[in-house]
Amino acid sequence: MANQLGKRFQCEVCNTEVLCIKAGDGAIECCGKPMELMQPKVLPSAD
């Protein structure tokens, strides 16, 4: 799986969050397990 620039990942074990600052192949791991891709947060509209 290729890591995309600007994506955030979170460890399910220790809740560490990582921001990808360099795209590339491979998997991001923490605590011996692959980290999960975080979903973007919805921002309130500025109406």
pLDDT band, very low/low/confident/very high, at 19 (cuts 50, 70, 90): very high
pLDDT band, very low/low/confident/very high, at 1 (cuts 50, 70, 90): low
- Give how far Cα 10 sits from Cα of 35, 37, 39, Å: 5, 7, 10
Can you spell out the DSSP letters for 1-47?
A: -EEPTT-EEE-TTT--EEE--S-EES--EETTEEPEEPPPPPPPP--
User: Which residues pair with residue 29 across a beta bridge?
Assistant: 34
Rounded to an integer, what distance in angstroms lies between the CA atom of residue 34 and that of residue 29? 4
Q: What is the rounded average pLDDT of the residues 20-36?
A: 91
Could you tell me the fold of the domain covering 2-37?
Answer: Rubrerythrin, domain 2 (2.20.28)
